[in-house]
Amino acid sequence: MAAALFYIFAAITLVGAIGVVMAKHIVHAAVQLLVALLGMAGLYFLLDAEFLAAAQLVIYVGGTLVLIIFGVMLTSHLGTRLMRVGPGETAIAVLTGLGLLAAIVTAIIHTRFPTPPPSVEPDVTRRLGVSLLGDYLVPFEIASVLMLAVMIGAAYLARRRPKDAA
């Protein structure tokens, strides 16, 4: 059962990822990204990371992806021409990607991994919260400062300029 679920979610994720690569239109790519992200959330559930799965959905799907689609809608419309690099560069890119994939897979095959622990770890969410505000307090605070900086920076960058008003 675990194997079947893994292959289903992995297939969903891969279909989405390949869709992002191949999609003709940028909004189609965004939808494929949604598929990939949903598959990833399923994989997180399989890996006992329930909180992470839900957070993935809230932040990526509900936040980042909506932002991306919003950005696409602001900057393009139906029938915008395809923005891709030429065939030669595409070939180089695909070769790079596949070469990297081959290298990583070879490395994985030749590595001996520890056998997985069979246990289900209880109360993951609570422990996650404790470690966020315990061991990882400083990174947590830095991340919040970063968010503040991002908020101000984004508002500054996207503000209306005097010349736009005129």
Hey, which residues between 103 and 132 contact other proteins (CB under 8 A)? 104-105, 108-109, 111, 113-121, 123-128, 131-132
Binding map of other proteins across residues 145-164, x = CB under 8 A, - = no contact: -xx--xx-xxx-xx-xxx-x
Residues 86, 89, 95, 100, Cα dihedral to 10°? -120
Query: What does the CA dihedral 133, 138, 139, 144 come to, rounded to 10 degrees?
Result: 80
> Least distance from C-beta 37 to other proteins, angstroms?
7
Long-range Cβ contact pairs of 32-39 (< 8 A, separation 24 or more): 33/65, 33/68, 34/61, 34/65, 36/12, 37/61, 37/65, 38/12, 39/9, 39/10, 39/11, 39/12, 39/13, 39/14, 39/15
In whole angstroms, the minimum distance from the beta carbon of 100 to other proteins comes to: 6
Site for other proteins in 27-66 (CB under 8 A): 27-31, 33-34, 36-38, 40, 43-66
Judged by CB under 8 A, the chain residues 1 through 30 that form the site for other proteins are 1-3, 5-7, 10, 13-14, 17-18, 20-21, 25-30
Taking the complex as a whole, how short is the minimal distance between the CB of residue 162 and other proteins, in angstroms? 5
Secondary structure of residue 77 in the 3-state scheme: coil
- 3-class secondary-structure state, position 113: coil
Q: x/- contact string, 76-95, with other proteins (CB under 8 A)?
A: x-xx---xxx---xx-xxx-
Residue 75 touching other proteins (CB under 8 A): yes
Per DSSP, the three-state class of 133 is coil
What the block records as the tokens of 80 is 């915008």
Q: Is 137 in the site for other proteins (CB under 8 A)?
A: no
CB of residue 133 to other proteins, shortest distance in Å: 11
CB of 95 to other proteins, least distance (A): 10
Residue count, binding to other proteins (CB under 8 A): 115
